[in-house]
Amino acid sequence: MKAVICTKYGPPEVLQFKEMPKPVPKEDEVCVKNFATAVTGSDVLVRSAGFPFFIELMFRMMIGFTKPRKPIFGLVFAGEVESVGKNVKRFKKGDQVYGFTGSSFGAYAGYLCISEDESKEGCLSIKSAKMSYEEAAAMAYGGCLAPYYLEKGNIQKGQKVLIYGASGALGTTSVQLVKNLGAEVTGICSTKNVELVKSLGADRVIDYKKEDFIGSQERYDFILDAVPHGKIDKRNLKAQCKKVLSPNGKYISIDDGSPKEKAEYLIQLNALFEKGNFKAVIDRIYPLEQIVEAHTYVDTGRKQGNVVITLTQVSQPHPTPHPTPL
């Protein structure tokens, strides 16, 4: 099968195509014929090993010293069940699925195997038939990670929530999920993304290039810092955010803790999507053959929402790149 492997840590060009054997599912695994994946913030962070020294040391011990031990790259997928192991109960050949491969990577390939039960090696869910594979691949990353952080806020209807970094994969997911909880959402992003964040339902959008968010009288019950590692002085951002928290308010950063990706998050996303209460935010779509170009674009740090990669031509039409207002 066609696959993209990471030959060493470094620039996008370290990604190379290789013909790899098609994987065979173990007894508890599902083999997925993969139609779409995405270039996520984690993909570019792992590929470039762009961490401070001590974190990088720990990271290399976990993932691999000179290159990832699991050679096939990629974290999210959307496809069709090709075959199942003999103990698999909840999935069958032909099911449309999407998911997150966690520490086993492997989603930049024509086929991948994943346990039917969630683990540190990822999670798998049925995909809504209303979602295209591209939309599902776009939604899987933010859809698995954002709910983990939002749960920490125990967000209630009517509360005020601030999402800093509202235009990225986790940010666009968070804005929509928090609106669905009935809270009042303020999003922070740069000028070019203000209309996008408004279109996702944010009650207010602050353009950080024009306005200082701590200047306002607003106080928030929950603040999610969804700005990726290395893009901003996080210590300073945390101190600033704490100034606009309500007395019992809570702040959390996407760089805190180790998120647990759960299939239930994707199942909830299916329901919201089917009701028209959640939309995939797709910036660009590249074929797998242009994976280096796709990584080069995501490396700019300026993607809006998600960058999707298609593996096989599927009959479903491509979604429009930007969502229509909710």
Ligand X SMILES: NC(=O)c1ccc[n+]([C@@H]2O[C@H](COP(=O)([O-])OP(=O)(O)OC[C@H]3O[C@@H](n4cnc5c(N)ncnc54)[C@H](OP(=O)(O)O)[C@@H]3O)[C@@H](O)[C@H]2O)c1
Binding residues for ligand X (CB under 6 A): 40-42, 45, 145, 165-171, 189-190, 193, 208, 226-229, 231-232, 254-255, 257-259, 301-303
Q: How far is the CB of 59 from ligand X (least distance, A)?
A: 11
Cα distance between residue 211 and residue 160, in whole Å: 19
Q: How far is the CB of 137 from ligand X (least distance, A)?
A: 13
DSSP string, 169-181: HHHHHHHHHHHHT
Q: How far is the CB of 257 from ligand X (least distance, A)?
A: 6
Which CB sits closer to ligand X, 217 or 236? 236
- Residue 83 CB contacts under 8 Å (≥ 6 apart), including other chains: 25, 30, 31, 93
* Interstrand relation of 76-84 and 123-126 (parallel, antiparallel or unpaired): unpaired
Q: Please report, as a single letter, which amino acid is at residue 151.
A: E
Which CB sits closer to ligand X, 66 or 190? 190
Q: How far is the CB of 197 from ligand X (least distance, A)?
A: 8
Q: How far is the CB of 129 from ligand X (least distance, A)?
A: 26
Which CB sits closer to ligand X, 81 or 146? 146
Which CB sits closer to ligand X, 88 or 202? 202
Cα distance between residue 184 and residue 107, in whole Å: 36
Reduced to 3 states (helix: H, G, I; strand: E, B; else coil), residue 133 is helix
* Interstrand relation of 160-164 and 220-225 (parallel, antiparallel or unpaired): parallel
Which CB sits closer to ligand X, 26 or 234? 234
Residue nearest to ligand X (CB): 168
Containing H/E element for 126? strand 123-126
Other Cβ atoms closer than 10 A to 315: 5
Which CB sits closer to ligand X, 229 or 318? 229
Q: Which among 154, 49, 137 has a CA at the least distance from the CA of 96?
A: 137
Which CB sits closer to ligand X, 229 or 322? 229
Q: Are 100 and 123 in contact (CB under 8 A)?
A: yes
Q: How far is the CB of 83 from ligand X (least distance, A)?
A: 30
Q: How far is the CB of 237 from ligand X (least distance, A)?
A: 8
Q: Are 65 and 76 in contact (CB under 8 A)?
A: no
> How much of the chain is in helix, strand and coil states, percent to nearest 5?
30, 25, 40
